[in-house]
Amino acid sequence: MPEISSSKPYRIGRSKTGLGLFATQKIKKGTKIIRYFGPLLDSKNKKHDDIDNKYLFEINNRWTIDGSTRKNIARYINHACRPNAESDVNSRKRKVIIRAIKTIEPGEEINYDYGTDYFKIFLKPIGCKCDHCEKKRAKKRAEERAERLKLKLKAEKKAAKQAEKAARKATKAAGKAKSSKTAKKPLSAARANAHARGTGKPTKTKASRTKPLSRVQPRNTAKASTRAKRAS
């Protein structure tokens, strides 16, 4: 890790994405913080076209700074979608200066926007880890958790309502069955009382339905014939 003079308002420290550059003292808005430097690559040179790394800083269509050298302290500055610094490019002098666009407090990480092309190629596939994007993801996760909880509570409420409805239905059915049993008992008792008082219709027994009634014979046939003769 390259050494940094104590007079410089920054230091290299551990960041979310590895190493980063942090302010050691208050940096006012508009202050030039550090220069981004390295060998210049010419797009007209075929050998330079073969060089490819994530520290290439394009100045214009022809010139690009290869900032992969470890002496380039500015290479440790990370990307942010809501940065506190920006890259000030001077195409004529082929220089790039990192400048504060807002006041940076001691201990705060210095960052700037790498640009759309870099974001699409290097950051989008793995996900940007700047504070702004982390907050967006955290908010989205919180909303998803809230939605899942809402659906769960809704399902539980629906299940409880269905269970309550089934319980009421079962209670109602049990009440109907009980009332039908109690309604039959008074009817049979009333019929029994009617027969006991003699007001009901008598029922014929099996014997009375099958055996014919016998004729009554006179007790003394002899006496009856003698009386008939005397009368004559």
Q: Which residues contact 64 (CB under 8 A, 6 or more apart)?
A: 40, 41, 43, 48, 56, 57, 58
Does the structural domain 10-127 have CATH classification 3.30.360.10? Answer: no
pLDDT tens track of the chain, all 232 residues?
777 877 899 999 999 888 999 999 999 999 999 999 999 999 888 888 888 888 999 999 999 999 999 999 999 999 999 999 999 999 999 999 999 999 999 999 999 999 988 888 888 898 898 888 888 888 888 999 999 999 999 999 999 989 988 888 888 888 777 777 666 555 555 555 555 555 555 555 555 555 555 555 555 555 555 555 555 4
Segments making up each domain of the chain, as ranges: 10-127, 130-174
Q: Give pTM, 2 decimals.
A: 0.63
Cα distance between residue 159 and residue 150, in whole Å? 14
Cα distance between residue 220 and residue 232, in whole Å? 20
CB of 66 within 8 A of CB of 28? no
Q: Which amino acid is at 118?
A: Y
